Amino acid sequence: MHTLLSMSSLRVFVTALAIALLVTMGRVAPDQAEAARAFFVFGDSLVDNGNNNYLLTTARANSPPYGIDYPTHQPTGRFSNGLNLPDIISEKIGSEPTLPYLSPELTGQKLLVGANFASAGIGILNDTGIQFINIIRIWKQLELFQEYQRRLREHIGEAQAQRLVNNALVLITLGGNDFVNNYFLVPFSARSRQFSIPDYCRYLISEYRKILMRVYELGGRRVMVTGTGPLGCAPGELALRSRNGECASELQQAAIIFNPELAQLIQQLNIELRADVFVSANAFQMNMDFINNPQAFGFATSKVACCGQGPYNGIGQCKPLSNLCPNRSIYAFWDAFHPSERANRLIVEQIMTGSTNYMNPMNLTTLLAMHSNH
Ligand SMILES: *[C@@H]1O[C@H](CO)[C@@H](O)[C@H](O)[C@H]1NC(C)=O
Ligand SMILES: *[C@@H]1O[C@H](CO)[C@@H](O)[C@H](O)[C@H]1NC(C)=O
Ligand SMILES: *[C@@H]1O[C@H](CO)[C@@H](O)[C@H](O)[C@H]1NC(C)=O
């Protein structure tokens, strides 16, 4: 009885959703027919799609089984079994995936698609990820964005280039490494001796403000900012810090302080700029949903990584000789720190259509529809 009722209401809901989607897509389509929207990506390994493969660094995803579910079934530098967040967002906005900025293929018409400047290992702070040696820190990513814009202007002229950048979607994903690969990297790290967690979060936010204002100065007008995920729940942290499989509390606590402050910063910036330039994505909650209740989302586990070794497959890197789970789509985590493609898809679903609990002040569907009238 219960099941039947919920099944039929589910069907009504799904039908309503399908209609809503059709209506929305119908509205967006003419704009996209003119030109697909450009997409620019900044940040760390959650969104790097291959830049680090061009650099001398250990922060790389360039050996199998990375990429095992990618269309080419080859590693590409993405920290995923298949697609990563930006790939799936590109798919949703009807664009081809962006190329890594360092790719030699990024010339001519390809420039119009946008570019991905992200580099695994980096953070908000310049001293985050120093152990990875040669990575593209965020300020350097923004310099490269300027260089990109010079190249774009040569290709399509000043006015068109400006329009492309202003209309583009921008994604920026930063912050996790400032905890995992800086403050909490070793006991008594320099930053942990300098700051309490609340003070460190305040410092990160003040530095993040400068970064976001620079993105605005460089022409970003639809900028989606993701906070950190639930850092203490990653298999890599469970392996190091958890007794019974519970999420590591000090990292969780840090994320719980940092993320709301970031959301508040974004609200503040929009007030100052008198426009909804920035949108905050509550990546913490998006991840917690399936971490707390993996079965409800079709996962067998949210604790054990698909690829790795040691407890929770959370020790060391994912390498050719690591344990590899037989079915990647029933694991929330692909490696010790990064979601599987299927988990990435769940996250992007919330990014596209989530309520204000997940996307503030609006989800991506609304953001893109709103501006397509210009
Ligand atoms: C980080 O580096 C950039 C240049 O690479 C510099 O402009 C900025 O002031 C540095 N930030 C801090 C807090 O030192
Ligand atoms: C993996 O699991 C999913 C979900 O349970 C299932 O639909 C799919 O068929 C499985 N794939 C393989 C190769 O077993
Ligand atoms: C997307 O956001 C809009 C505006 O906030 C909201 O009306 C809509 O319900 C959201 N989409 C879904 C599927 O919740």
All structural domains of the chain, each given as residue ranges with its CATH number in brackets, are 24-229+248-282+360-371 (3.40.50)
Mean pLDDT of the 283-295 span: 98
Mean model confidence pLDDT for the chain: 91
Mean pLDDT of the 172-180 span: 98
Say which range, 22-36, 141-155, 288-302, has the weakest mean pLDDT.
Answer: 22-36
pLDDT at 88 > cutoff 90: yes
pLDDT at residue 35, rounded to an integer:
64
Mean pLDDT of the 117-126 span: 97
Buried b (16+ CB within 10 A) or exposed e, 276-300: bbbbbbbbbbbbbbbbeebeebebe
**DSSP strands (E only) in 217-312:** 223-226, 278-281, 307-308
pLDDT at 157 > cutoff 90: yes
pLDDT at residue 29, rounded to an integer:
40
pLDDT tens per residue, range 323-360: 999 999 999 999 999 999 999 999 999 999 999 999 99
User: Of the candidates 349, 334, 229, which has an alpha carbon nearest to the alpha carbon of residue 283?
Assistant: 229
- What pTM does this model have? 0.90
pLDDT at residue 57, rounded to an integer:
87
pLDDT at 19 > cutoff 70: no
Q: 254 CA distance to ligand 1 centroid (A)?
A: 23
Atom 9 of ligand 2, nearest CA residue: 327
User: Of the candidates 57, 146, 148, 133, which has an alpha carbon nearest to the alpha carbon of residue 100?
Assistant: 148
pLDDT at 32 > cutoff 50: no
* CA gap 180, 245 in Å, rounded: 18
Give, in order, the Cα–Cα distances in Å from 193 to each of 65, 96, 180, 199, 250.
38, 45, 15, 11, 15
Give me the catalytic one of 31, 45, 178, 280.
45
Longest CA span, the chain? 66
Q: 290 CA distance to ligand 2 centroid (A)?
A: 18
pLDDT at residue 11, rounded to an integer:
45
Q: 130 CA distance to ligand 1 centroid (A)?
A: 14
Provide the pLDDT confidence category of residue 10 given band limits of 50, 70 and 90.
very low
What are φ and ψ of residue 157, in 5° steps?
Answer: 90, 160
Mean pLDDT of the 108-120 span: 97
3-state helix, strand, coil in the chain (%, to 5): 50, 10, 40
Instruction: Please state, for a pLDDT cut of 70, what percent of the chain lies above it.
Output: 90
Q: Ligand 2: residues whose CB is within 6 Å? A: 298, 327, 329-330
